[in-house]
Amino acid sequence: MLDSLGRPLRDLRISVTDRCNLRCRYCMPREAFGAAHAFLPREQLLSFEEIARVAAILAGHGACKIRLTGGEPLLRRELPALVEMLAATDGVRDLSLTTNGLLLERQAAALAAAGLDRVTVSLDALDPATLGRMADAPVAPARVLAAIDAAAAAGLGPVKVNMVVRRDVNGEQVLAMAERFRGTPYVLRFIEYMDVGATNGWRREQVVPAAEILARLSARWPLQALPPTAPGEVASRYRYLDGAGEIGVIHSVTAPFCHGCTRARLSADGKLYTCLFASEGRDLRALLRGGASDAQLQDAVAGVWGARSDRYSELRGTQAARASRPRARRAGRRRIEMSYIGG
C-alpha cells in the first residue's frame, strides 16, 4: 500500500494514553497541561481488543513495526496484556515501546515476558537540575539509568536512549551524555528540538542543529557514518572510531526525511494520523464501535494512506507551509500535540 508520493506503510505508532507523569516543556508544557487539563476519560480510550484489531488491519497493509507510545505508555494499566496481543499479530516483526523510564524498572520483566522486543528511554540530561528544567518536574537521572539497565537485563535491547537537545536548557549536556553512554551497549540518539503541536513555544534559534552536535562530538571522539539498518529509519547512525559504540542523530528540522517517512499513528482515542504535524485524523473508533467489518476498516485505512501527501518538515518555512496554517486556524483546528499521538 503506497501513499500519493509512493511511500509504503511500514511503521505504526500506537498511543495508549494521553496522560504523562512528567511535563517536559517540548511536549506537555505545564501551562497547557496543568492541574485543570481534561485528559481523555477511560471510555473514550480504545480497548486493548480494539487496538489489536486495528493493528492487525494495518499489519495486513504492511505495518510490520509497531511502537507503543503515549503520553507515558506505562501509565496504562495491564499494558503487558496488550503487548501479548500485538506480539501474536500476523505480520508484526518488531514490537517496541518509548518511555520516560520512571515506571520501567518494575515493569521491564513483565513486558519482555509478554513479547516486547525493545524499549527506547527518554533522558535529556545527567545533571539533575538540568533534567528538572527539561521535564518541569523533579527527576533523578539515577532512576532513569537504573531503568535502562533493568530493561537491558530483561532482554529489551538494544536499548536506545533519546535526548532532545534545546540550546537554552540542556545543550551543554551533549558531551556529558555521550561520555556516559560510550562503551555501553546502549545507543544514544540526539534529537533536534521540533515544532510539534501549538503549545511548546518553539523557536528556531532554540534548535541545536545535528551538524553542530556532530561537530562537537567528533572533535572529542572521531566518528564514522554508518548505513541505515532499515528503510524509513529516521536517525542517521555513526560509530566511534575507537570502538566505543554507536550514536544517532535525528535531524527533522535541519534535514527533514519526509520523503522516506513510512509511519502512521493511532491516537489513544482511535484516530489515525499520517503525520506528526497533522491537524486532524480519521476516526476509526466510530467505525469499530459502529459495527464495521474488517473489510470496511481495511477500506478506510487504505483510503487514508492512499490520499496521504504529508511532508510538513520539508515544506517548513515555505509559502506552502505558511499557507496551510491559516486555513487550519480558520477551520478551528490546530496541529495536534505530540503527547496525543506519541513522538
Query: In b/e form, how buried is each residue of 29-45, taking b as 16+ CB within 10 angstroms?
Result: beeebeeeeeeeeeeeb
Stretch 308-319: mean pLDDT: 81
CATH code of the domain occupying 11-341: 3.20.20.70
Q: pLDDT, tens digit, for every residue of 53-68? A: 999 999 999 999 999 9
Q: pLDDT of 265-293, one tens digit each?
A: 999 999 999 999 898 999 999 999 999 99
The confidence band for 52, taking pLDDT boundaries of 50, 70 and 90, is very high
**Mean pLDDT of the residues in the chain:** 92
Spatial CA neighbour of 119 closest among 144, 152, 143: 152
pLDDT at position 331 over 70: no
Taking CB atoms within 8 Å and a gap of at least 24, the contacts of 300-303 are 301/57, 301/58, 301/61, 301/272, 302/1, 302/61
pLDDT tens-digit series, residues 173-194: 999 999 999 999 999 999 999 8
Burial of 343 (0-12, 13-18, 19+ CB in 10 A): buried
Q: Which pTM was predicted?
A: 0.93
| Domain limits, the chain | 11-341
The pLDDT value recorded for residue 317 is: 62
Residue 10, SS3? coil
Handedness of CA 49, 53, 54, 56 (dihedral sign): positive
Check residue 328 and give its pLDDT.
42
Q: What is the per-residue pLDDT for 300?
A: 97
pLDDT digits (tens, 9 = 90+) for 8-46: 999 999 999 999 999 998 888 898 898 889 999 999 999
